[in-house]
Amino acid sequence: MDYSRIDASQIDQLWELQKAYKAEIGEEQPGEQDRSRLVTAMEKGQIVFYGAWDGSHLAGCCSITVGFSTFDYAPSGTFEDFYIRPEYRHQGIARKLVLYAYQESGVSSLTVGCADCDAEMYHSLGFCISLGNLLAFGE
């Protein structure tokens, strides 16, 4: 398995995983406008995707959106879009992908917001520091 950054030229394979991820968690399928906005965000460096590659086949992905935190006055990252194809699960790929993405992103801290049912999985992947509650703004 090889690990590398995914660029916008590889959107077709990434888009397959995005749709599979949304289907697995029961969310609405993204459309062409969503795909276009994602490509633009990737090209502008607003979001960076990392992939686990089995030859030329994308087996899994994750993303990191970089911001800045006054926690340690350094770049911080938000971890999202984590998906490993079912046939590649339970082989250690997830742990290696998370570590690769963290190291390659250059962030000093990495956080993930997750559903309660996923907390144990993320803990086993190295997200072991509890920061309290994650809340999203809504009007």
Nearest in space to 98 (alpha carbons), one of 79, 116, 78:
79
Q: Given this model, what pLDDT does residue 139 score?
A: 81
| Three-class secondary structure of residue 42 per DSSP | helix
In the chain, domain spans:
2-124
Q: Given this model, what pLDDT does residue 8 score?
A: 93
Q: CATH fold of 2-124, please? A: Aminopeptidase (3.40.630)
Q: Given this model, what pLDDT does residue 45 score?
A: 94
> Could you tell me the strand order of the sheet in which 74-84 lies?
2-6, 48-54, 57-69, 74-84, 109-112
Rg (CA), the chain: 15
State the pTM of this model: 0.92
Q: What is the mean pLDDT of each run of 10 residues along the chain (139 residues)?
A: 96 96 93 97 96 97 95 92 96 97 95 87 90 76
